[in-house]
Chain A
Amino acid sequence: MSSEEPRVGVFVCHCGLNIAGVVDVKKVVEEAKRLPHVVHAEDYIYMCSAPGQELIKKAILEKKLNAVVVAACTPTMHYETFARAIEAVGLNRYRLEMAVIREFSSWVHADKKKATEKAIKLVKAAVVKVADNSPLEPVKSRTVRKVLVIGGGIAGITVALDIANAGIPVILVEKTPTIGGKMAMLSETFPTLDCAQCILTPKMAEVARHPLIKIYTNSEVVDVSGFVGNFKVKILQRARYVKIGDCRLCGFCERVCPVKVPSEFNRGLSDRKAIYIPFPQAIPPAYVIDKANCRHWVDGCDKCLRVCPTKAIDFNDEDKLVEEEVGVIIVATGYDLYPAERLKEYGYGLYRDVIDSLQFERILSAGGPTKGLILRPSDRKPVKRVVFIQCVGSRDINHLEYCSKICCMYTAKHALIFKERVPGGEAYVFYIDIRAAGKGYEEFIKRVQEEFQVNYIRGRVNRVYRDPKTGDMVVVGFDTLTGQLLTVKADLVVLATGLVPQLPYELASKLKIPFDKYGFVQEAHPKLRPVETVTSGVFVCGVAHGPKDIAETVAQASAAAAKAMELLYSEYIVKEPLVAVVDRDLCSGCRVCVGICPYGALELVEGKAKVNELLCEGCGACVVACPSRAIELRNYSTKQLLEMVKAVVK
């Protein structure tokens, strides 16, 4: 609150005829002049124009105004304009309020008299508020110039490299034993058919040798505290039981290991040992022991330990909790496939020859379980006829309401590679619509349909079953273009399963980032702030934010990197000072506010509540909750709101 008596100036904008055509601006000025604290009021055709701003500046100097109300459009539109104008003549920017008489009155009411009355009320409310607005300075804090990236897929790798190349240290945390993510599983990428491994593994190697990037694999972020510029994170690094620097990848251990379990990397299409490396180019380049399946902890088996030439195996390795301080956190936790077994009609999980799209990627991949030969999983017979089913889970109100965006394109790619590798092979695609928006995408689909003669059938599949006599799969679907029920026999059925986010709920809540009803991270603004979250200092990229392909993911990752650098390269972080303040004399130390604050911004210091101005986002929930009325929200105080209410209803 200002100690001196408020001297308010009211400036009413005509906005051409946008306001003046409906609201009687002269009457608003006359009424404004009669209000308490108002010492000056005038109108002008365009207040935001340079002469309009000059009027305001002149009046401030001549009439010694210490507060200003501009009755015009919205603060979103022009607060900054007028704030700068009043700052130019020495007034604090928080001594400005705008009365929204265009959007809230002249544009939404036809009755001129009523619109004018409402405009006057809006001006009254703004005057009583601004009279009590405190002049404030932005909150400033220094930053820790270091970034935490959660997720080591292509999004995390891109963001880590961009930031580290700009000279800022990065901590990359990955849940699995290697970085690379889903992209490492892919065969080739649409629409150029670049080999995924060939473009990804050099980047992985670059991450591994970068002096500014520290990789934690087999690790998870378990706790986050602090605020933008000064986060404290706890990382749980699970024991690997193999010393990373000592492992030479000779593979002796793998050969002697007696335990076989389905390989996660090949999605169950082949087996791996209990000591394994997910794929040959894995980063960090070291084996890992899967404790849950290893016999060492059951019967003391130590065959691998005995054959390891570099003594890299350490059964006494333990889980470690590592603490790191960072200034920015980037969430790149990616996706998983929707569990296709939930669509019972397709028989996934029941028949081995019904597979999901990532399993087909592994089959196509030269380093995969079949070395790139297209063999069906049940009896390893070469596949001659394949049926692809699109929108498995996606665009289905019983499963995922949204479009997973990439399935049309990867199915077309699958069909193309199949036709290339299997001369005389037949491919059928059941689809609802083809969505191929993207550079070169539509052309790719056309090429697959025309040049490669893949049979596209518009319609849904209602049943997939195995013919007991021949062992072939039978797909029954409805062709909506011919109106016929089709029965297609096939060696293999590939389900284009939808994408689901895999950001754990606990982590999202620790990061204080909201997500939509599907679990995708909510961006701060869908158009203008697409990589920021509402928690300052936390950014998102990749499929964690919503379904997208590799090209878009990389673009978004670079955008997130740029945003992180913008924040960390400025000397200090500036934040709106419209935060809660505690009156220590009134505070009883009851802790109600501590529990209600969604940001953990309140703590008890010497028995009284204290607000961390950098954590507080200014929502005001604590103000309402405080039983002693000891907390106020700056410039939204209870007194101010009360006066505003009185001003508009009296």
Chain B
Amino acid sequence: MNLDSWEPKIVAFLCKWCSGAAAELAGVSRLLYSPNVIPIIVPCSGRVDPDLIVEAFMNGADGVIVAGCHTPSDCHYIAGNFKAFKRVYMLKKLLSDFGIEPERLKLEWVSAVESQKLKTLFDEFTFTIRKLGPLRVKIRGGSV
């Protein structure tokens, strides 16, 4: 891989009620942010399966963001954000066992009005991933 032309690939799972709405607002407010982040809208951060995050890394993502509604009580589905918190917390511990830096996975709460926070999150996370470099993991002998 040519490091000079390498661009980080980042997937952002945004819940449709809070962080997804913030992404819409960021658009309407014309906030410029890193084009490396590709959003995927999910109903709830509690829908984000740890498997999906692992598959994203296995298929070439260098970083993954999960963004949901603020704790404790912003979640449209009452407590999906807590479920996301527990799952991401657990997965971060497992990632280092795979040889993936836990910093490549980021969980953040972004409300529907916090477009500026979302922009900062996207930019800073892209910066972090740029510093970490491309993801290279060895799983069962093969490199990913």
Contact = CB atoms under 8 A, between A and B. Distances in A.
A645 B59 contact: yes
A642 interface: yes
A313 to B, nearest CB: 46
A117 B38 CA distance: 10
A275 B9 CA distance: 74
Q: Identify the 10 closest CB pairs spanning chains A and B, nearest first.
A: A103-B27, A620-B47, A619-B77, A114-B35, A598-B78, A107-B27, A621-B46, A648-B38, A619-B44, A649-B60
A122 interface: yes
A642 B38 contact: no
Interface string B43-71: 11011111110011001110000000000
A575 to B, nearest CB: 14
A645 B27 contact: no
A69 B143 CA distance: 35
A586 to B, nearest CB: 16
Interface in A105-146: 105, 107-111, 114-115, 117-118, 121-122, 125
A103 B41 CA distance: 13
A301 to B, nearest CB: 48
B55 to A, nearest CB: 6
A624 B83 contact: yes
20 contacts: A74-B24, A74-B27, A107-B28, A107-B30, A109-B32, A114-B35, A117-B35, A514-B73, A517-B72, A618-B43, A619-B76, A621-B80, A624-B46, A624-B83, A636-B47, A641-B52, A645-B40, A645-B55, A645-B56, A646-B55
A211 to B, nearest CB: 38
Interface of B: 9, 11, 21, 23-24, 26-28, 30-33, 35, 38-40, 42-44, 46-52, 55-56, 59-61, 72-80, 83, 87
Contacts of A107: 27-28, 30
Interface centre among A108, A109, A638 (most CB of B within 10 A): A108
Contacts of A617: 77
A406 B49 CA distance: 47
A2 to B, nearest CB: 21
A606 interface: no
A512 interface: yes
Nearest to B15: A619
A648 B87 contact: no
Nearest to B38: A648
Contact of A624 (B11, B21, B49, B78): B49
B35 A645 contact: no
Contacts of B26: 103, 108
B35 A515 contact: no
A620 B46 contact: yes
A620 B42 contact: yes
Contacts of B61: 645, 649
A510 B77 CA distance: 14
A125 B52 CA distance: 14
Nearest to A515: B73
Contact of B27 (A102, A114, A125): A102
B43 A636 contact: yes
Contacts of B44: 619-621
Interface in A489-526: 512, 514-517, 522
Given A623-B47, A641-B40, A642-B55, A648 B11 contact: yes
Contact of B76 (A114, A534, A650): A534
Given A74-B24, A103-B27, A624-B46, 12 more contacts: A108-B30, A512-B78, A516-B73, A618-B43, A619-B46, A619-B77, A620-B43, A620-B47, A621-B83, A638-B51, A644-B40, A649-B38
Nearest to B26: A108
Nearest to A103: B27
A578 interface: yes
A644 B38 CA distance: 11
A643 to B, nearest CB: 10
A28 interface: no
A104 interface: yes
A121 B47 contact: no
A309 to B, nearest CB: 54
A1 interface: no
Interface centre among B26, B30, B39, B51 (most CB of A within 10 A): B39
B79 A633 contact: no
A74 B112 CA distance: 14
Contacts of A642: 52, 55
Contacts of A512: 78
Contacts of A644: 40
A596 interface: yes
Contacts of B33: 108-109
A636 B48 CA distance: 11
B23 to A, nearest CB: 6
A450 B43 CA distance: 57
A76 interface: yes
A624 B77 CA distance: 15
A650 B76 CA distance: 32
B84 to A, nearest CB: 9
A76 B31 contact: no
Contacts of B39: 100, 104
Interface centre among B42, B77, B79, B80 (most CB of A within 10 A): B77
A109 B23 CA distance: 13
A324 to B, nearest CB: 25
A642 B42 CA distance: 12
A108 B56 contact: no
A517 B42 CA distance: 26
A621 B35 contact: no
A633 B47 contact: yes
A636 B61 CA distance: 20
B114 to A, nearest CB: 15
A118 B38 contact: yes
B49 to A, nearest CB: 5
A527 B35 CA distance: 31
Contacts of A74: 24, 27
Interface in A596-631: 596, 598, 617-621, 623-625
A168 B49 CA distance: 45
Contacts of B76: 534, 619
Contacts of B32: 108-110
A522 B55 CA distance: 36
Contacts of A621: 44, 46-47, 77, 80, 83
Contacts of B30: 107-108
